Amino acid sequence: MSALLFPGQGSQLVGMGLEFYNNFSLVKNIFKSADEKLNFKLSKIILEGPAEELQLTKNTQPAILTVSYAIFQVLKKEFNLDFSNFKFFAGHSLGEYSALVCSESLNFEDAAYLVYERGKAMQEAVPIGKGKMIAVLGAKLDDIQSFINTLNLNKGVCEIANDNAEGQAIISGDKETVDSFSILLKEKKIKTIPLKVSAPFHCSLMKNAASIMSKKINIINFKLPKFKIISNVTANYIDKTENIKKLLIEQIYSSVKWRESIINMSNNGVINFIEIGPGKVLTGMVKRTIKGANCFAINSIADIKNLKNELKK
């Protein structure tokens, strides 16, 4: 049994998808479709940069969606990959939109519009420099939450934004409170790494962004996915169309339960985890969480050929 995984923000790099763009006209058409929907040359930013433009959240989100969807279509239409043995599609944060598009729940052009607006709303929810995110390494989630509970949070915000993998969690909140939390963890000899992000994602500071996006999400048509989509919010599959919109809105300010999602898929018989899109961040998280899982990251034509050979075994 297999699962398809789609990356979120942080996996982007200039030139991602270039080999597919140069070799397949369907990829050129997908890139062109994104440009036309958004009314600017997203494809140029993806393929040529500059990196500063690609790193802007409003550009990053549709860029990763576009590349992920393009690779999926190459797998499906150019290499005729058999998806009958795929039980789940799951995306990390923004990647959930890629999963919905590839499972035919959401139209690609609608998704490109939504993630562009999502990126803008999330960027503008908190003034630059006022928020902060850090990675916490080597600590258990319950311990991290206990440490957060010892802080005086009458005014400040410090919350678990991502439970990514065994021993890897992300904290999000206002800069002052997260800095205080970093000092507390340092005293306990727990390693933290500040993240280069433009806003404190997946915490209650994003509720204004969620409010803006609820109006936009609710006017878009969603269908029941052809594959089971794992929600970041619940770590379980979404079984009703009306719940897709509700969970996408909640996802903006809720913790991403990625570790729990991976464990759930594994407990339901998944042994092959295939990451589609730029980078191999998600396969790394799977390896940390599920010992012995078969992981594949698809970033090139050679990767696809290798995957097809491995799945035949």
In DSSP notation, 251-266 reads HTTS-B-HHHHHHHHH
For residue 68, give the nearest of 312, 245, 277, 227 by alpha carbon: 277
Residue 44, H or E segment? helix 42-48
Contacts of range 178-185, beta carbons closer than 8 Å, 24 or more positions apart: 178/132, 178/133, 178/134, 179/132, 180/151, 180/156, 181/134, 181/147, 181/148, 181/151, 182/134, 184/147, 184/150, 184/151, 185/136, 185/139, 185/147
Residue 174: predicted pLDDT:
96
CB 255 within 8 A of CB 133: no
CA 204 to chain centre: 18
Please tell me the class of the 131-194 domain.
alpha beta
The beta-strand segments (E) located in 85-216 are: 86-91, 131-137, 158-165, 168-174, 191-194
Residue 147: predicted pLDDT:
95
The span from the first CA to the last CA of the chain, in angstroms, equals 13
Residue 239: predicted pLDDT:
84
Domain 2-125+204-312: which CATH number of 3.30.1450.10, 3.40.50.720, 3.50.50.60, 3.40.366.10: 3.40.366.10
CB 138 within 8 A of CB 109: no
Residue 10: predicted pLDDT:
84
Residue 128: predicted pLDDT:
86
Catalytic one of 68, 93, 105, 255 = 93
Residue 155: predicted pLDDT:
81
Q: Is 93 a catalytic residue?
A: yes
**Domain limits, the chain:** 2-125+204-312, 131-194
The beta-strand segments (E) located in the chain are: 2-6, 86-91, 131-137, 158-165, 168-174, 191-194, 228-230, 272-276, 294-298
Residue 221: predicted pLDDT:
95
Catalytic one of 43, 98, 172, 202 = 202
This prediction's pTM: 0.95
Residue 197: predicted pLDDT:
85
CB 31 within 8 A of CB 18: no
CB 102 within 8 A of CB 74: no
CB 278 within 8 A of CB 13: yes
Contacting residues for 171 by C-beta, under 8 A, at least 6 apart: 133, 134, 135, 136, 144, 148, 158, 159, 160, 161, 178, 181, 192
Q: Is 84 a catalytic residue?
A: no
Residue 304: predicted pLDDT:
94
- What is the pLDDT tens value at each position of the chain, 313 positions in all? 999 999 998 888 999 999 999 999 999 999 999 999 999 999 999 999 999 999 999 999 999 999 999 999 999 999 999 898 899 999 999 999 999 999 999 999 999 999 999 999 999 999 988 999 999 999 999 999 999 998 877 789 999 999 999 999 999 999 999 999 999 999 999 999 999 888 999 999 999 999 999 999 999 999 999 999 999 999 999 988 889 999 999 999 999 999 999 999 999 999 999 999 888 999 999 999 999 899 999 999 999 999 998 887 7
Spatial separation of the C-alpha atoms in residues 57 and 124, rounded to whole Å: 10
